[in-house]
Structure 1
Amino acid sequence: MDLNNKNILITGGARGLGLAMAKWFAERGANLGLIDLESPELSQAVEICRAKGVKAFAYVANVAEEEQVVNAVKKATSELGPLNGLVNNAGILRDGLLLKVKDGKIEKLPLEKWQSVINVNLTGVFLCGREVAASMVESGSQGVIVNIASIAREGNYGQSNYSSAKAGVSAMTVTWSKELAKYGIRCAAVAPGVIETEMTGGMKPEAKARICSGIPVGRMGTPEEIAATVGFIFENDYYNGRTLELDGGLKL
C-alpha cells in the first residue's frame, strides 16, 4: 500500500506505541484518526500529526463500548473519507496470579481484573475490527488491519487475563485474514516483546538491567521500531494472516 493520502485509524493513539505509529504514518503522508479516552495527550497527538502536513482528528471512545466504537468509526469516515487502515493498539494491564496463598489463605484473581482486560484487549479489538472492516466493504476501499498482540500470547507468569486476550487477538487475526481477503482487506499482527514505555521507564536501573540481560540483543525495543514494523505490514501487499514477533530474540 502506498500510504500517501490514505486514511488510517489508530486506537490508543494518544501516547506510547500509538503515538509513535501515528507520527510514522503522518511522516509518510497518511491522514490519521486517533481513538483514545479523553485526555490532553490526545489533542496534543493530533496537533503533532497535523504539524507534519496531514489531516488528523481525535475520536474519544472506549473501545470496549460498542456504541462508542460505532459512532467513532462513522464520524471518522465522515471527516476523513473512506478508511484504508486500522491499527488495533489500545490495551491495558491488570496483572495478578490466578491464586496465591498468603498466611494460609487463598487469594484469587478477581473477576474484575480478568474481565477488564478481556473487555479492552480482546472485545475492543473485535469491535473496532468489525466496524472498520464493514466501513471498508461499504465504501469499496481496500485496506489493512493490524492488531497489536504480544509474545505473552503463549502464556506469561501473572498474566492469565493479558495472555488469554493476546492469544485471542492472534487467533482473530488469522480468522479475519481468511474472511476478509475477498474484499481486498489484509489482516496481520505484531507481537512486541519488552518495549521502552512510560511503565518501563519508571523501573529501577537494576530491574531494567536484569530484564535486558535476558534479551539476546541486550536491550528493550523502542516504540519507533514497533511503528516501523506495523508500517512494513501496511506497505507489503503480500503480508497477510501472520503474527510478526518483534522481541529482540526473547521468548517468554
Structure 2
Amino acid sequence: MQIADSIVAITGAGQGLGRAMALYLAERGARLALIDVNAAGLEHSVSSCKKFAAEVRSYDINVANEEAVDTGFSQIAQDFGGLQVLINNAGIMRDSMLLKCKEGKVTDRMSLSQWQSVIDVNLTGVFLCGRAAAGIMAESGEGGVVINISSLSRAGNMGQTNYSASKAGVAAMTVTWARELARYGVRVAAIAPGFIGTEMVAQMRPEILQGLVKQVPLRRLGEQEEIASTVAFILENDFVTGRVLDIDGGARI
C-alpha cells in the first residue's frame, strides 16, 4: 500500500504516539481522520498535521462506546469517501498491584473500576474500532490495513494486571483478525512498543527513568518516530500480516 493519498484513521491521536504517527504519515501525504476525546490535544494534532498541507479532520469518539464508534466511523467513510487504514492506538493506564497485605491482612487491592476502565478502552475499544473499520474495508472490495498497538507489557508486568491483560488480548486479536480478514484483502498487524520517550515518560523522576533505561540492552529509550516508521513499514509491505512487531531495543519482560 502506498501511504500517499491513503485514508488513515488514528485513535488516541491527541497526544504521544498517536500524534507522532499522525505527523509522520501527514508528511508522507496521507489523508487523516484523527480520533480522540481530548479536544485540546486533538486540535493541536490537527493544526500540526496541516503544516504538511495534509487533509486532516478531527473526530470526538469514545472508542469504548459501540454506538459512538459505529456512527463515527460511518461519518469518516462518508467524509473521506472510504477508509483504508486504521491505527488502533487509544489506550489508558490505571496501574495498581492486584493486592497488598500487611501483617497477614489484605490492606488494598486493584478495584473493579481500575480493571474495567482499562479493559473498556484498551481492549473493547480496539475491538469496536477494528470491527467498524474492517467492515468498511471489506465492503469496499479494496481491502485495507489494521494496525493495533500492543505493548511489551503483554507478557505480564508487576502492577499492571489490567494493562498487561488488555495488551495480551490485543496481540491475540491481531492474529485472529489477520486469519479471518485475509479473504477480504484486509491485513492486520500489531506493534508492541517498549519504553518510548513520550511526554509522560519524560516527566518521570530521574531515578525511575534511569531504571527503565537499564532494562534496555541498547541503553536508551525508543523514539516516537521509530514507532511511526514501523507503521509505515507495515503499510508499505503487503506481505506483512498476523504478526506482532516488538520495537523495544531488545528489552524483554
* TM norm structure 2: 0.97
Find the residue that maps to 1:87 and give its secondary structure.
strand
Indicate the larger mover: 200-209 or 171-180: 200-209
Matches within 5 A, 1:1-252: 1-102=1-102, 104-106=104-106, 107-252=108-253
Find the residue that maps to 1:136 and give its secondary structure.
helix
Question: Is contact 2:14–2:38 with CA below 8 Å preserved after alignment?
Answer: no
Question: Is contact 1:63–1:125 with CA below 8 Å preserved after alignment?
Answer: yes
Question: Is contact 1:83–1:141 with CA below 8 Å preserved after alignment?
Answer: no
Q: How much has 1:206 moved relative to structure 2? A: 2.3
Q: Which amino acid aligns with 1:202?
A: Q
Whole-angstrom distance in 2 between the partners of 1:207 and 1:190: 24
Q: How much has 1:124 moved relative to structure 2? A: 0.2
Question: Is contact 1:5–1:30 with CA below 8 Å preserved after alignment?
Answer: yes
5+ residue gaps, structure 2: none
Whole-angstrom distance in 2 between the partners of 1:34 and 1:103: 50
Question: Is contact 1:31–1:55 with CA below 8 Å preserved after alignment?
Answer: yes
Structure 1, residues 11-30: CA drift from partner, whole Å, max 9, x if none? 00011000000011111111
Whole-angstrom distance in 1 between the partners of 2:138 and 2:2: 19
Find the residue that maps to 2:217 and give its secondary structure.
coil
Whole-angstrom distance in 1 between the partners of 2:239 and 2:96: 39
Whole-angstrom distance in 2 between the partners of 1:155 and 1:208: 20
State the number of aligned residues.
Answer: 252
Find the residue that maps to 1:169 and give its secondary structure.
helix
Q: How much has 1:102 moved relative to structure 2? A: 3.4
Whole-angstrom distance in 2 between the partners of 1:183 and 1:103: 58
Q: How much has 1:103 moved relative to structure 2? A: 5.5
Indicate the larger mover: 98-107 or 228-237: 98-107
Question: Aligned-residue CA RMSD in angstroms?
Answer: 1.0
Query: Percent identity between the aligned chains?
Result: 51
5+ residue gaps, structure 1: none
Whole-angstrom distance in 2 between the partners of 1:60 and 1:203: 29
Whole-angstrom distance in 1 between the partners of 2:171 and 2:211: 28
Structure 1, residues 179-202: CA drift from partner, whole Å, max 9, x if none? 100111000000000111122111
Question: Could you say if the C-alpha distance between residues 44 and 173 of structure 1 is closer, same or farther in structure 2, counting changes exceeding 3 Å?
Answer: same
Question: Is contact 2:3–2:232 with CA below 8 Å preserved after alignment?
Answer: no
Q: How much has 1:210 moved relative to structure 2? A: 2.1
Whole-angstrom distance in 2 between the partners of 1:103 and 1:112: 26
Q: Which structure 1 residue ranges, 4+ long, deviate > 3 Å from structure 2?
A: 102-105
